[in-house]
Amino acid sequence: MSSIHEIELVEILNKFPEAVKFNEALLPAMGSESIFIAILGFEDRCLSIPEELAKHGNHNAQKAFYFTYTTNSADNTQNKDKLLNALSEISHEYQSVVCDTQDFPQNFRDIIKACQNAESRLKVIMDISTCSSMPLLLAIKILFEFDVDLHILYSEAKIYHPTYEEWQAEKNKHVKEEGFGIAKGVSRVFPSPEHPGDRKDNLPEKVFVFPTFKPERIIAILHDIDPSIALVPDKHAIWFVGKPHLKENEWRIDAIKEINKITEDMQQVLVSTFDYKDTIRGLNAQWDKWKSDYHITIAPLGSKLQAIGIALFWQMHQELSMVFAVPEQYNAKQYSEKCIERWYIPLGSTREIKHLLDCVGNIELREI
């Protein structure tokens, strides 16, 4: 006997991999069908995974790429020699890719196209540890235009600034001083050219906000979408407040609310900064609630793994828009220190992932 069944998101997410502690044995050896992507940043963890892979010396990737930023170039350069030494052990050929300019999406698309071959699926191993949300979301979107075998690596920082002691000592500066904290100013705000969304119905705006420890960029994004939202964000913004992975960092929940002036009467959702599936679940619940009455834009300034969840959710609902904001400069000494753990997410075939996500809401007959 058969019954009609609607496929639910939870069923699909159960088929997606968890983040597991990285072990060299878990990652397939990188050969001529593989590329490795690293990020040249100023944080200690920029080197953690590349150096670990280089230490084992059993990789011969077709090519290695390292993303570079136009901001903080002097700070980032301090890790360059060590990163290139590690990359030389992973592949005989490596090159830089500027990832925060307007031509990055097309440049990256051309790179992936050139690395494809007809005989096997390209394996893309990407270390996202120091990748900011804008290039990460753009890169994932482009990778989904191809059928690649996608493997995500992530180094979790041991110390995130501000620490609890720094927050308690200088709370007023973090809340009120624009030049204080993890980033300074806003250099530009722009709608993502790769995530334009669909505004055919001329609906009012609802913004899904992933805030960070500095409010300037979120305010700039809200103002860019609609100046009235920036002035009165309580009705048209939903705040996706990050719940830290480690219990000792949970004080940051209240801190980020205070910095961004998120009051109890404002719409908010608590989502993990670590579990990318939790981000998808949180987005989906709010999407189901508001999709008929609003055009929805995401302001994606949360964690790296939240960005992975956002990227996958957008594959389900491409009528969503995204708007990015780039700071004038990051405060290199007030970001993160060291690495406490390395993590691995073997996502697999992007074509298969997209197929699974497209199944949500489909009707099928099941035997009972």
Report the CATH number that the domain containing residue 141 is assigned in CATH: 3.40.50
Q: Are residues 327 and 208 in the same domain?
A: yes
Rg of the chain over Cα atoms, rounded to whole angstroms, equals 20
Instruction: Provide the pLDDT for residue 332.
Output: 63
Provide the 10 A C-beta neighbour count for residue 368: 7
Q: Are residues 144 and 259 in the same domain?
A: no
In angstroms, the CA 40 to CA 100 distance is 12
**Ranges in the chain, pLDDT < 70:** 1, 58, 176-183, 332, 334
Looking at the structure of the chain, the number of domains it has is 2
| Residue 344 belongs to some domain of the structure | yes
Instruction: Provide the pLDDT for residue 25.
Output: 78
Instruction: Provide the pLDDT for residue 56.
Output: 79
Considering the entire predicted model, what is its pTM?
0.94
Q: Are residues 308 and 346 in the same domain?
A: no
* pLDDT tens track for 114-154: 999 878 899 999 999 999 999 999 999 999 999 999 999 99
Q: Are residues 169 and 99 in the same domain?
A: no
Q: Are residues 134 and 52 in the same domain?
A: yes
In angstroms, the CA 193 to CA 60 distance is 34
Mention every residue, 6+ apart, whose C-beta is less than 8 A from residue 356.
Answer: 12, 15, 16
Instruction: Provide the pLDDT for residue 233.
Output: 79
Q: Is 290 exposed, middle or buried (0-12, 13-18, 19+ CB in 10 A)?
A: middle
What domain range includes position 170?
A: 164-332
- Six-digit token pair at 358? 């497209």
